[in-house]
Amino acid sequence: MPIHLTINTGKIYAVRSIQKSQSKAQGAKPEKRKAIGARFVLLRPAGYPLKSVFQEHPVVSDSKLFERYAQEQWYGEKLLSGSYLFDSRLYPDFAFQVVKVYPRHSVMGSQTTIKVEAKEEPKKTVVYDVSFDDVIGQETAKRKVKIVKRFLADPEKFGRWAPRNILFYGLSGTGKTMIAKALSAETGVPMLAVKSTSLIGEFVGEGARQIHSLYEKAAESAPCIIFIDELDAIALDRRYQDLRGDVSEIVNSLLTEMDGISNRKGICTIAATNQIEFLDASVRSRFEEEIEFKLPSQEERLIILEKNAATMPVAMQNVSLKEVARQTEGFSGRDLVEKVLKAALHHAIMDDCNITQRHLEETIARARKEYRQPPKEMFS
C-alpha cells in the first residue's frame, strides 16, 4: 500500500492512503480512488437505537486496546462529524458518534488515533417528593422500615447483619409503594423501581439478564434500594401455574441475587405483593422481614379524606367527610382518593356545581360494585 508524503508548514507527515475501487460502465477498467486515512478521530458513546432500563452499556477500560479494536473493525469507513459507527462484534448495534475528525474528509485507517469522550457519572438524585408523614396510618410498617433506614445510612456498620430482603404485603392501595418512595427520599439514596411483569421478555434468558443488569446498576449506585412491585406475577406458587421457561429463569436469577452470591454490598431489595399467600415458598423464604400493610381505620380514613379534600379545585358544599369515612369501611387510601373524591369531583364539574354529599355517596355506591371478590374455592 503506497505511502504519500504531505508537506504542511514545514513539517512532513507520512499519511497512509486507503485505496477503494469504483467501477465505471460495464467493460471499462475500474478507476482507483484514494481515500486518506484519518490522523485523529474523537468518538462519543451514543448507545443503542432502542433504549431499555436494563441495557448493558460498554465502558472503554483500555484506550489503546479499544483503538486497535476500532481500527480493525471500522477500517476504511468514512468519518464525518455527526455520523455514527455501529459495533458489530462485542456489543452489536451499539453506536459511537463521530464528534471530530482530522482531516475532515477521511476514513478510518490502521494508524488513526482514536479517543473516546469520558461519560459523565450520573448524579445520585432522589426524585420522590414523599415523606413518612404523607402516609396516613401504617405505624407498624413505619417502625419496621427504620431498620432499612439505619442500614442505608451506614451500610458498612451492619456487615452480615444487613437487612437485604424485605417483603411488603397487603391489599392494593394501602401505601406499600409510598413507604418505599418515602424511604428513598428521607435517606437520600436512589431507588430502582420495577414491575415484575416488565421483566418477562420475549426470549428465554432475556428476563434473567435484566435481573442481573438491575442489580449491577444498583451496585454502581450503592447504597441503593431495589423495589420490585407485583412480585406474585413471577413468583406465584407452582401449584397455581405452569411456569414458562423464561419465568423460571427470572425467578432463579432473582433468588441468586437475593442470596447474595455476587456479594453486592449496600443494596436492599424490597418486594411488594397483594397476595402473599400465593407466593412460592422458595421465594418467600428469602425475605428476612415481612411487613403487613392494613386497610385504614375510620379515623385514618377521615384524615385521608380531609387532607386530600383541602387541595381539590372545586369547593365542597354541605358535605360531611365524617359520614363519608363511616360509609367507606374496607376502602384503601387509594380508593378514597381515586374512587371517591376524584370521581365526585368529575361529576360535580359535569353538573357545573360544587361537590355535594350526593356526589360522594353516589361514587361510594359505584366503587363498592366494582370490587367483587373471586370465590375462595377458586384457589383451593
pLDDT tens figures, 140-151? 999 999 989 899
Report the alpha-carbon distance of residue 282 to residue 243 in Å, rounded.
14
Q: Which residues contact 293 (CB under 8 A, 6 or more apart)?
A: 138, 141, 168, 169, 170, 171, 174, 175, 176, 179
User: Cα(250)–Cα(242) distance, rounded to whole angstroms?
Assistant: 14
pLDDT by residue for the chain (380 residues), tens only, comes to: 454 444 444 444 444 445 443 434 444 444 445 678 889 999 999 888 876 655 567 788 888 999 999 999 999 999 999 999 999 988 888 999 999 999 988 999 999 999 998 766 555 555 788 889 889 999 999 999 998 989 988 888 888 888 889 999 999 999 999 999 999 998 889 999 998 887 776 555 677 788 888 888 888 888 999 999 999 888 877 666 555 555 677 788 888 888 877 778 889 999 999 989 888 888 899 999 999 999 999 999 999 999 999 999 999 999 999 999 999 999 999 999 999 999 999 999 999 999 999 999 999 999 887 655 555 554 44
Stretch(es) of the chain classified as CATH 1.10.8.60: 298-370
Cell matching residue 87: 459495533
Q: Would you say the pTM of this structure is higher than 0.85?
A: no
- CATH 3.10.330.10 domain extents, the chain: 3-116
Q: Which three cell numbers stand for residue 126?
A: 432522589
As its CATH architecture, domain 132-293 has: 3-Layer(aba) Sandwich (3.40)
CATH of domain 298-370: 1.10.8.60
Distance CA 343, CA 339 (A): 6
Cβ pair 269, 228 in contact under 8 A: yes
On whether the CB atoms of residues 13 and 5 are closer than 8 A, the answer is yes
Residue 29 C-alpha cell reads as 477498467
Q: Where in the chain is the domain with CATH 3.40.50.300?
A: 132-293
- With 0-12 / 13-18 / 19 or more C-beta atoms within 10 angstroms meaning exposed / middle / buried, residue 363 is buried
Q: What angle, 0 to 180 degrees and rounded to 10, lies between the N-to-C axes of helices 206-220 and 245-258?
A: 20
240-273 residue pLDDT tens: 655 555 567 778 888 888 887 777 888 999 999 9
Task: Quote the cell numbers at residue 130.
Answer: 414523599
Q: Does domain 3-116 have CATH number 3.20.20.110?
A: no
